Amino acid sequence: MTEPVVRTTTSDEETIELGQWLSREFLPARGLVLLIGDLGAGKTTLAKGIAEGRGAAPRDDVSSPTFPLIHEYGDPVSVYHIDLYRLDEQRQVEALGIDELLDREALVLVEWGERFPRFWPADRVEIRITASGADQRNFRIERRTAV
């Protein structure tokens, strides 16, 4: 694990800009990113910036995959955006085939992934988001690697 990156934003626009910066300067070309935070913390807003920064989709085309569970962005797909909020059981997560997505040349963004820790490889990025006031968001971004 490397030293975490800590950032604060005070608007949706700044959160999108942070996602764009992460996409260009910090995140791997392929791999897993867990987006961790309470409801309304800004996980999907950050995903908008990451997908846009990758050139996979304009921010207005990126939405929460709460009901379809997985959105694909890019042609070919370079970002998978997954939301596990509505899932309760490990077998439901297994049925999504996320392990196959992790083998592809794409970035896999997972909201609520902390609920199912056994599914994730040791090599990943974790982004913890906490709301502080109406508009302020605090981000702790960590690269995790196998020991």
Per-residue pLDDT reduced to its tens digit, 11-55: 999 999 999 999 999 999 999 999 999 999 999 999 999 999 999
Report cis status (omega within 30 of 0) of the bond before 68. no
Task: Provide the pLDDT for residue 143.
Answer: 94
pLDDT greater than 80 at residue 2 = no
Read off the pTM.
0.94
Average pLDDT of span 43-71: 95
Which residues pair with residue 142 across a beta bridge? 126
Task: Provide the pLDDT for residue 1.
Answer: 54
Q: Which CATH code fits 11-133?
A: 3.40.50.300
Residue with tokens 């934003």: 9
